């Protein structure tokens, strides 16, 4: 079985004023290319800096970057909401794991009791000389 290495996902940089800007990544460290989440070409993987540079100049990519800058405050609110959701899900998972562990222990106990009853019946049947 071979591991599949996914391409990196592009993340724009942030300038001194807190705006998202394009900064072409160094492709010498990127082994399997880079995928841009702007939506212009969903499954396109860029494997060189020049290809990604020309992509970053497209209208769709520029519109995506402008949309990121316009919605910075909304991203913060969404991030906080998602953090709360993750914490709630962690609590739910922890609670369910405790319930499952309790049920497993109950099943094991009842299985041992049932096995002990079966053994007692078998011994009584062997000793019954009628």
**Residue range 4-32, pLDDT digits in tens:** 778 888 999 989 988 999 988 877 777 78
pLDDT one-digit tens code per residue, 54-73: 999 999 999 999 999 998 88
Q: pLDDT tens digit string along 74-125?
A: 888 899 999 999 999 999 999 999 999 999 999 999 999 988 887 776 666 6
Q: What is the pLDDT of residue 1?
A: 65
pLDDT for 48: 87
- Quick one: pLDDT at residue 4? 73
Q: Give the dihedral sign, CA 60/64/69/70.
A: positive
pLDDT for 115 equals 87
Task: State the Cα–Cα distance between residues 29 and 117, nearest whole angstrom.
Answer: 66
Extents of the domains making up the chain? 8-120
- The alpha-helical segments, DSSP class H, found in 1-130 are 49-56, 59-70, 72-127
Q: What is the pLDDT of residue 127?
A: 55
Q: Rounded to whole angstroms, how far apart are CA atoms 39 and 62?
A: 11
First vs last C-alpha separation in the chain: 63
Q: How high is the pLDDT of residue 37?
A: 92
Q: What is the pLDDT of residue 122?
A: 66
């Amino acid at each position: 079985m071979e591991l599949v290495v996914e391409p990196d996902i592009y993340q724009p940089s942030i300038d001194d004023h807190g705006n998202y800007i394009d900064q072409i990544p160094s492709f010498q460290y990127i082994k399997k290319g880079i995928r841009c989440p702007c939506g212009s070409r969903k499954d396109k993987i860029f494997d060189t800096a020049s290809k990604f540079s020309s992509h970053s100049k497209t209208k769709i990519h520029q519109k995506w970057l402008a949309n990121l800058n316009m919605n910075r405050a909304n991203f913060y609110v969404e991030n906080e909401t998602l953090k709360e959701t993750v914490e709630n899900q962690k609590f739910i998972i922890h609670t369910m794991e405790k319930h499952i562990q309790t049920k497993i222990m109950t099943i094991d106990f009842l299985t041992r009791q049932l096995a002990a009853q079966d053994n007692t019946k078998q011994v009584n049947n062997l000793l019954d000389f009628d």
